Structure 1
Amino acid sequence: MHLTKKLAIAAAVAVAVAITGVWTASAASTTTQADSDTQPTLAENYSYPGAADIQAQYNVTLISGDGHIIFADCATPPEDNVSVLQVRTTADAGTRRTVCFKVLAPTGHLELRIPAVYEIRGDGRISGAGHRVKAELTTDAGQHSTVDVNPSGTTPVGVGANPSNAPTTLLQLTATP
């Protein structure tokens, strides 16, 4: 082979190696950069923030919701004659307790578990005020019921509606326009 032909082949091989090296390095840096730039997916799972603390302190299991019905301090002052929903329960060794929820929008949804509920009071503080709320309840025997909560009054459920009724567990609150 002539020297010129050998040089041409060597040059072609060198170019091929250089191109392959640049391509490999580029692919590697792209992959590394892509891996380091990838952020975790922000997918809403609708789990309730602070649920473990609320469970420990109030015996209320907050499962999930859309953020429009939230656990609230029962001393929340009313705004435009609307305050908080009050759920009355005897879940703590027969002691009567009230836990409260604030409805923040015309619609809302909250899945929860509150055992031994006997009454739910709407958030309206005068007649005609308050949110329309449905409460889904169940008994230990699995009898499900849905009640319309009086927006500005009390709605007895379970043993609150009739002492011979089975105790009920509140499963869901849904606000509708």
Structure 2
Amino acid sequence: MRPIHRTAIVIAAATTATALAATAAVTAASGAQSGATDEQPSIVEDYSYPGAAQILADYHVQLISGDGHLLITPCPSPVTGVIVVQSSQTVGQQGDGSVCFRVLGTSGHLTLKIPEVFSIRGDGAAAGQGHKLRAELTTDAGQHSTVDVNPSGTTQVGIGTTPPGAATTLLQLDASA
């Protein structure tokens, strides 16, 4: 072979090797980037309420988290077998201040925000029926209170009490057997 051809072959081989190395580096880098975006979400449950944004838009109620056993539901007519929260605000599916929840199973937990709540009704249809229910509330001044709700009746809170108390925001509901 002539020296010029040999030099050209060596240069061509070096150029090809450099191009292959650069391509491999770009491929590895893009694989690492796509691997970062293709990672699976954490399997740790954060208990955030599914569909909370849509519920806020439809019911004007902020559902934050729960265990999946205490679910917002349209209020039936007549209202039986559900927990009914009454507010002086325009909340609920009909905007009439009524928000209903159904307990699935023996217990349930829900963290939420419903402003200006004045009564909470248990889900029992008759005396001695219904889930034990505990409600955590707060006032605008930051006074927290916990109320045991009558399982088969209505419990007045905040401005619904006699004499009327301060307006309260419902923060948490806990139901048990």
Q: Note whether the superposition's TM-score is higher than 0.5.
A: yes
Question: Which amino acid is the alignment partner of residue 87 of structure 1?
Answer: V
Q: What does 1:1-177 correspond to in 2, within 5 Å?
A: 39-75=40-76, 83-92=81-90, 96-162=96-162, 164-177=164-177
Q: Distance in 2 between matches of 1:96 and 1:172?
A: 21
Q: TM-score, normalised by structure 2?
A: 0.72
- Whether the 8 Å CA contact 1:140–1:167 is kept in 2: the answer is yes
8 Å CA contact retained: 1:117, 1:157: yes
Aligned length: 142
Partner of 1:11: none
Give the Cα–Cα distance (whole angstroms) in 2 for the partners of residues 77 and 67 of structure 1: 25
Aligned residue type for 1:159? I
SS of residue paired to 1:40: coil
Which blocks of at least 5 consecutive residues in structure 1 are unaligned? 1-27
Seen in structure 2, the aligned counterparts of structure 1 residues 72 and 128 have a Cα distance that, compared at 3 Å, is same
Aligned-pair CA distance for 1:76: 7.4
Q: Secondary structure at the match of 1:112?
A: strand
**Paired-residue identity, %:** 56
Q: 1:86: Cα distance to partner? A: 0.2
- What's the CA shift string for 1:145-171, capped at 9, x where partnerless? 101110000000001113531100000
Q: Distance in 2 between matches of 1:149 and 1:70?
A: 18
**8 Å contact 1:76–1:84 — kept in the other structure?**
no
Seen in structure 2, the aligned counterparts of structure 1 residues 132 and 76 have a Cα distance that, compared at 3 Å, is farther
The 3 A distance-change label for structure 1 pair 76 and 66 is farther
Contact 1:121 1:155 in 2 (8 A): yes
Give TM-score, length-normalised by structure 1. Answer: 0.72
- Where 1:92 maps in the other structure, the secondary structure is coil
Stretches of structure 2 lacking an aligned partner (at least 5 in a row): 1-27
Please provide the CA RMSD for this pair: 2.6
Report how far residue 40 of structure 1 moved.
3.2
Distance 1:164 1:68, change over 3 A: same
Partners of 1:50 and 1:76 lie apart in 2 by 24
1:39 CA displacement? 3.6
Bigger Cα displacement from structure 2, 52-61 vs 166-175: 52-61
Moved over 2 A (4+): 35-41
Pairwise CA distance, 1:42 = 1.6
Q: Deviations over 1:86-108 (max 9, x none)?
A: 00001129x75100000112121
Residues 15-66 of structure 1: per-residue CA shift (max 9 Å, x gap): xxxxxxxxxxxxx9xx99xx69964332211010111111122221000000
